[in-house]
Amino acid sequence: MSLSEILDRIEEAADRAGRNVNGIRLIAVSKVQPNERVAAVLAEGHKVFGENRVQEAAGKWPDFKSRYEDIELHLLGPLQTNKARQAMELFDVIHTLDRPKLANRLATLRGELGHCPDLFIQVNTGKEPQKAGIMPEDLEAFAKQCRDLGLPVIGLMCLPPVDEEPTLHFALLAKLAKELDLPELSMGMSGDFEKAIMQGATQIRVGSAIFGERPSH
């Protein structure tokens, strides 16, 4: 599917939800995609991209950034504390603030670097033991800790369990964000972004529907 078809579907979903399409940001998830596919989407004028790994992004984005202006880069995968400095230098937004140790590290680095990417707290809405994210019942205390550290948390992010109806998780994330007075919701991927828009997503993360299936390595 092409970028323009995805943009059409976003607009239709926004219409159905009675929302302004300008309130929905499309993050094109370029992880593991061949550079020529990424270059094609850049050539169509898209500026907002997401990556899962700091190392991979550091390998490919400095070159694209030197060739295209105003690129906005989002980190969508788990962040190790020893990669936090590199991530803060490379990314404009980090979607995976998921534990107190990382919050402390980002706060320290914010002091050193004098800036910090916008942050999403990742919430484990399905309470899956193997999945990253703050448990819903721990969220209020963690959000307060982040606020006290002076971190620029703008919203919540979730990755629903693969075998459950995503709408329930999107609705829960929206409710939690409202309670905390956080304006942004990072939710929805290739298979469910229209449902996410219906529940109030402000940032959707779409990979394979734009670029094609990811090559397996």
Ligand X SMILES: *Cc1c(COP(=O)(O)O)cnc(C)c1O
Which positions touch ligand X (CB under 6 A)? 29, 31, 52, 76-77, 159, 189-191, 205-209
Q: C-beta of 145: minimal distance to ligand X in Å? A: 23
Q: C-beta of 27: minimal distance to ligand X in Å? A: 8
Q: C-beta of 162: minimal distance to ligand X in Å? A: 10
12 or 179: CB nearest ligand X: 12
Q: C-beta of 167: minimal distance to ligand X in Å? A: 17
Q: Is 103 in contact with 142 (CB distance < 8 Å)?
A: yes
| Per-residue exposure over 179-189, b if at least 16 CB sit within 10 Å of its own CB, e if not | ebebebbbbbb
Closest residue to ligand X, judged by C-beta, is 207
Q: What is the DSSP letter of 216?
A: P
27 or 143: CB nearest ligand X: 27
SS3 of 81-125: HHHHHHHHHHCCEEEEECCHHHHHHHHHHHHHHCCCCEEEEEECC
29 or 87: CB nearest ligand X: 29
142 or 211: CB nearest ligand X: 211
Q: C-beta of 66: minimal distance to ligand X in Å? A: 25
Query: CA–CA separation, 5 vs 163, rounded Å?
Result: 27
Tell me the chain's radius of gyration from C-alpha atoms: 17
110 or 131: CB nearest ligand X: 131
34 or 191: CB nearest ligand X: 191
Q: C-beta of 179: minimal distance to ligand X in Å? A: 23
Residue pointed to by tokens 């409202």: 178
Q: Where are the alpha helices (DSSP H) in the chain?
A: 3-17, 35-43, 54-67, 84-90, 100-113, 139-148, 166-179, 193-198, 208-211
